[in-house]
Amino acid sequence: MNPALPVLNISAYLFTELKDTEALRAACHAQASQLGLKGTILIAEEGINLFLAGPPQAVHDFVRWLHLDPRLTAIAPKESWSAVQPFRKLLVKVKNEIIRMNHPAIQPQTGRAPSVDAATLKRWLDVGHDDQGRPVVMLDTRNAFEVDEGSFEAALDWRIDKFSDFPAAADQHLDPLRDKTVVSFCTGGIRCEKAAIYLREKGLQEVFQLEGGILKYFEEVGNTHYRGNCFVFDERRGVNPDLSPLTP
């Protein structure tokens, strides 16, 4: 821990079947409140999505508590640091989706799309093709204003205003992707996971999600093939490739 950046920020999600959403909401709120954490936790029958910040011991204690639930043991937070608390309060909500796509047939909790890790993706981008020699296309699944802060070099950007616009945008751009290896990506992995499933259901065979999104890529390989910063939805506004905040 950098003494100048004493606040630990985590983002994490997991698609998993959760039937007791209201009970889990109450338990998460009580535990996070007791530990003095702030941020947002979204819970739906398809899984959990969270952004939390606080003293590192408290954050780690909360994650260990989550892991006590057998349905949540696979949740793997991505970490970054800031000088001050970037959230003003704690919100824990039950939603219809943990990331809104408005496409009920897409159910990652019943089966994920294939993923590619950061090191493998960097290797593909270094040489310009995947291990089968197919050209690699990077597909940014984030909102246009997020893309404007930074993205992978030459990434496709369909200028969507919200993630629920993704299916309609994809339907208009499928044909040029059919002979390519497509890697969908987003901030932490949640949107590109749903996006990859949608593209596969539309008939694209070689579609992968970037495991852990941009934040995990920064953590593991830095900013090679990436330009700019990564927008985040809190008072930091964004993080640099070394995961330091734009607004400390």
In a domain, 103, yes or no: no
- 88 neighbors 38 (Cβ within 8 angstroms): yes
Six-digit token pair at 198? 């949608």
Which of 43, 59, 94 is the last residue before a domain boundary?
94
CB 108 within 8 A of CB 153: no
Whether residues 158 and 76 share a domain: the answer is: no
The reply to whether 90 and 135 lie within a common domain is no
Provide the residue count of the chain. 248
User: Does 101 fall in a domain?
Assistant: no
Beta pairing partners, 184 = 139, 209
Residue 47 burial class via C-beta count within 10 angstroms: exposed 0-12, middle 13-18, buried 19 and up? buried
Shared-domain flag, residues 112 and 86: no
Q: Is the pLDDT of residue 67 over 80?
A: yes
Q: What pLDDT digit, counting tens, does each position of 2-44 carry? A: 677 899 999 999 999 999 999 999 999 999 999 999 999 999 9
Six-digit token pair at 181?
Answer: 């290896």
Give how many domains the chain has, as a whole number. Answer: 2
Pairing of β 7-15 and β 47-54: antiparallel
Residue of 28, 186, 192, 230 marked catalytic:
186
Q: Are residues 128 and 215 in the same domain?
A: yes
Buried b (16+ CB within 10 A) or exposed e, 206-221: bbbbbbbbbbbbbbeb
Residue pLDDT, tens place only, 89-133 = 999 999 999 999 988 778 887 778 899 999 999 999 999 999 999
Q: What is the pLDDT of residue 216?
A: 95
pLDDT(247) > 80: no
How many CB atoms are closer than 10 A to CB 176? 9
Q: Domain for residue 46, yes or no?
A: yes
100, with CB counted inside 10 A (0-12, 13-18, 19+), is: middle
Using pLDDT thresholds of 50, 70 and 90, give the confidence band for residue 73: very high
The answer to whether position 36 is within a domain reads yes
Q: What is the pLDDT of residue 2?
A: 66
pLDDT bin (cut points 50, 70, 90) of residue 1 is low
Q: Is residue 2 part of a domain?
A: no
Tell whether 63 and 132 lie within a shared domain: no
**At 116, is the secondary structure helix, strand, or coil?**
strand
Statement: the pTM of the whole predicted model exceeds 0.85: yes
Question: pLDDT tens digits for 170-223?
Answer: 999 999 999 999 999 999 999 999 999 999 999 999 999 999 999 999 999 999
- Tokens 């993923």 correspond to what residue? 115
Span 140-158, average pLDDT: 98
CATH of the domain at 200: 3.40.250.10
Domain check: are 87 and 129 in the same one?
A: no
Whether 112 and 218 share a structural domain: yes
Which of 94, 123, 156 is the last residue in one of the domains? Answer: 94
pLDDT at residue 107, rounded to an integer = 80
- Identify the pLDDT of residue 248: 61
Query: Do residues 125 and 180 share a domain?
Result: yes
Residue 192 annotated in active site: no
The answer to whether position 64 is within a domain reads yes
Task: Examine the domain organization and report whether 154 and 191 are in the same domain.
Answer: yes
Same domain, 141 and 231: yes
129 and 207 inside one domain: yes
Answer whether residue 210 is part of any domain.
yes
Instruction: Give the residue numbers spanning the domain of 205.
Output: 108-239
Residues 115 and 88 in one domain: no
